[in-house]
Amino acid sequence: MQAVRSILVVLDPEHAHSLALTRAKLIAGVTGARLHLVMCDKKHDHSALLSLLGNQLREDGYDDVTYEQTWHETLHESIIVVQQAEGCELVIKEHRPDNPLKKALLTPSDWKLLRQCPCAVLMVKSERPWMGGVILAAVDVGNQDEDHRRLHASIVDHGYGIAGLAKGALHVVSAHPSPMLSAADPVYQLTDTIEKRYREACRAFQAQFDISEDHLHVAEGPADVLIPYFEKKLNAVVTVIGTVARGGVSGALIGNTAEVVLDSLEGDVLVLKSEEVTAHLAELAQG
């Protein structure tokens, strides 16, 4: 989080009070990051509100504040155009449910933003304050290729960063697969051998990132079940997940179950991307 020098805050034209701005102020208050406010609307003029918010932020001690109103075809495209132009390393957007029956479900626009935005995206889903809360980092400890190792480091670093600024505690969750008799690798045919391999990987992971036994949660089962389960059990305020797939979040670290996971989570979600994904999406955005 300390590396974030510029934050893009997406404001909702229909809601002046913004949880996205609340989260951005918390992060910028610690990191000193620049805040760039954007209102994506082609119908109404919001210059007076943006000016008011900018002045209020400066009065509150946030010296580097800029803002704009824009529109490019769709909401997610508008956000990505501004993110690229301003060089923001983090986009913060509040998720507002369409109706009570879908209160947790992300909108198609939110999903497109998560998939296509070249930088980290914080989707604010809850009004709960971060201060003193549990931060949950979701990793796949059993996957040790270089892309995953770098992404794990980024997920844990961001988790520690949020825990530091929110004076909270970092917990890590990693799901491991159930045994499959058809698996080519004999290790994955028996529960005991799978558990042993993951426990060994976890010990190295814990040593590398200084994670205590009681803050590491490893369990058998699908990630789309375990991550929301531990989020609820620990009452986590933020869950950090990542993707190494070029397709963005649809091919996330946790498999193609990302949509289920993100829709099931009740708290805020920070989605990170590997360096390769970031570069690929930036190329697409600039093209």
Residues 6+ apart with CB under 8 A from 161: 1, 2
Q: What is the DSSP letter of 110?
A: H
* pLDDT at residue number 286: 74
Q: How far is residue 96's CA from residue 263's CA, in Å, rounded to a whole number?
A: 12
CB 88 within 8 A of CB 7: yes
CATH entry 3.40.50.620 includes domain 6-94: yes
> In the structure encoding, which two tokens stand for residue 253, read together?
């670290």
Q: In the chain, which residues fall in CATH 3.40.50.12370?
A: 134-286
CB 105 within 8 A of CB 257: no
Least confident segment among 15-19, 228-232, 277-281: 277-281
pTM, whole model, 2 decimals? 0.88
CB 161 within 8 A of CB 144: no
pLDDT at 206 over 60: yes
* pLDDT at residue number 183: 46
* pLDDT at residue number 189: 47
pLDDT tens digits for range 76-130: 999 999 999 999 999 999 987 666 666 567 777 888 888 888 899 999 999 999 9
Q: In the chain, which residues fall in CATH 3.40.50.620?
A: 6-94
Mean pLDDT, residues 246-268 taken together: 64
Question: Which CATH class, in words, describes the domain spanning 134-286?
Answer: alpha beta
Q: How far is residue 223's CA from residue 250's CA, in Å, rounded to a whole number?
A: 14
Q: For the CA atoms of the chain, what is the radius of gyration?
A: 19
pLDDT tens digits for range 60-91: 999 899 999 999 989 999 999 999 999 999 99
User: Which helix H or strand E contains 261, and what residues bound it?
Assistant: helix 258-264
CB 211 within 8 A of CB 170: yes
Higher-pLDDT residue of 240 and 180 is 240
pLDDT tens digits for range 163-196: 999 999 999 998 876 644 444 455 444 556 666 7
Q: What is the DSSP string of 196-259?
A: HHHHHHHHHHHHHHT--GGGEEEEES-HHHHHHHHHHHHTEEEEEEEE--TTGGGGBTTBTTHH
Where do we find the tokens 């008799």?
Answer: 181
Q: How far is residue 40's CA from residue 46's CA, in Å, rounded to a whole number?
A: 9
Whole-number mean pLDDT of the chain?
Answer: 83
> What's the residue count for the chain?
287
